[in-house]
Structure 1
């Protein structure tokens, strides 16, 4: 008798669980901006997202520098049906604050994600205007150009020499798109070429690295973003406080989502890296409830 009663009472919680799972699945199928693949919306607070990433991913226990070798003077990667070769300057890493002289895992993840997303028809880069922030060695920007985008690779004025060499070596006249190097200091007024015509994409890897840089980074993201701009940022999970700070500040002006590893290139996945997508919120007066 008790078993019969339990069977009669079970359907309601089962239906509730099924509805919750369906809601979660539907949320993942919405896509965001120009990316049509599944995206997990980031919750109402940066703390919840960082707790989720650190609790589930255990980034500190994952292999460090899984795809790169910082001691080498060059880095090679097969992408876009060719072998890319990027110069590195390991000796420059001894200078305080200089980190872009070598390729990092997050840049590899972002570059191969772009290639995979284009190949799987979840992202269209041909003819798009894009900017890479803090380009460093320029891997993601070069791959975006080879995939058909017209890319402006940016970094601080004193970091452009190595970047220009790598663009010259890897983005030739036979590329589907184009690549050009230009300086950009976050928080400062950007060069007019970065604003007109409007950008379709802003790309960045390991640009969320210190609390002090968050405000300037967000100023620049807001300056570069229009209503049809999609921001894709990859970052290594080193400091939960910095990430929480960025997410909390970013959600004031942007919708933020996380692209789960199942959507990345299958050969370039690591739980030490997170991949976020941002789109600028519409002005309140233009949102449906205020029409």
Structure 2
């Protein structure tokens, strides 16, 4: 074995997340690490959700949140956002825990949630003081809006959340990046097929400015899809994996990975120097 293979992964702070993360420097090695050490297939599936139920309740931000689900929609090919998945719960509780522990500041920031589905993570971000836009495909917005209205409603003046349609790969609505890019882009289970990776990355690059931090949680179902995403994303983003010790202690699962991404700073070209 070569000496470089014995070196431990490097760690760093990325973006506005103040915790230390393990840098992803090789997509294949990261996938081997997650599957080899974590053994996700041996862990309990749907530990934090009940997808057969029409509601999911969760204590978060000193409130009892209740989200509507549509189990019958799961029979429609390609529709997965009608019910909650463990990764969405992990992300939501991570946001709460990171704010409580001082690793993350959401109050007064602008947040965009991608593939919001039932909307839990975006709702929690709003309850933590962020101005949130929850996005999904047009046919997913009815359920999403019901959940936002139910859980971020009257009597919560600090909260701001609205729903908007967004199809990955299309030109985004300028309102999402004006007058400045969002501080955070969040998403759970948005890496689910190789076919969607390119469109997802197009949208991430449109949404992200130099001061945008991306937080993505995903269930470890398919190592090929995750490696494809990481390999492609590393061209434009620095990526770190957040260790479970930084998650909410009651919501950890080896079936889920949590990543932070920030856009790489482009090196100046010779033309840039000539224009100085």
Please give the alpha-carbon distance, in whole angstroms, between the structure 1 residues aligned to 2:32 and 2:123: 33
Bigger radius of gyration:
1
Aligned to 2:140: 159
Q: How far apart in 1 are the matches of 2:157 and 2:33?
A: 40
1:127-158 deviations in Å (ceiling 9; x for gaps) = 10010000000000000000000000000011
Residue in 2 that maps onto 1:62: 43
Tell me, in whole angstroms, the C-alpha distance in 2 between the residues paired with 1:107 and 1:121.
21
Q: Residues of 2 paired with 1:109 and 1:175: CA distance?
A: 26
Runs of 4+ in 1 over 2 A off after TM superposition: none
Paired residues for 1:151-190 under 5 Å: 151-173=132-154, 174=156, 176-190=158-172
**What TM-score does the superposition give when structure 2 sets the normalisation length?**
0.93
Matched, 1:112 2:93: yes
Q: Could you tell me how far 1:175 is from its partner in structure 2?
A: 5.0
TM-superposed deviation, 1:31:
1.6
**Over residues 228-284 of structure 1, what are the superposed CA-to-partner deviations in whole Å (9 max), with x where a residue is unaligned?**
000000000000000000000000000000001000000000000000000000011
Q: Partners in 2 of 1:263 and 1:40 — Cα distance?
A: 12
- Where in structure 2 are the equivalents of 1:7-86 lying within 5 Å? 27-28=10-11, 30-43=12-25, 45-86=26-67
Deviations 1:170-202 (A, max 9, x none): 012315331000000000001111111321000
In 2, Cα distance between equivalents of 1:212 and 1:37: 32
Q: Would you say 1:88 and 2:69 are equivalent positions?
A: yes
Partner of 1:284, secondary structure, is coil
Alpha-carbon distance in 2 for matches of 1:193, 1:109? 29
Residues of 2 paired with 1:273 and 1:60: CA distance? 11
Structure 1: gaps (5+ residues): 1-19
**Partners of 1:53 and 1:186 in 2: CA distance:** 27
Determine the C-alpha separation between the residues in 2 that align with 1:101 and 1:158. 10
The normalised TM-score by structure 1 is 0.88
Distance in 2 (CA, whole Å) between partners of 1:149 and 1:177 is 7
- Asked if 2 retains the 8 angstrom alpha-carbon contact of 1:126 and 1:177, the reply is no
The counterpart of 2:201, out of the listed 218, 226, 233, is 218
How many pairs align?
A: 264
- Which region of structure 1 is more displaced relative to structure 2, 196-205 or 234-243? 196-205
1:8 corresponds to: none
* Contact 1:84-1:170 within 8 A present in 2 as well: yes
Match of 2:183 among 200, 204, 213: 200
Whether 2:200 is the aligned partner of 1:236: answer: no
In 1, Cα distance between equivalents of 2:220 and 2:14: 22
Mapped pair 1:273 → 2:256: yes
C-alpha displacement at 1:206, in angstroms? 0.1
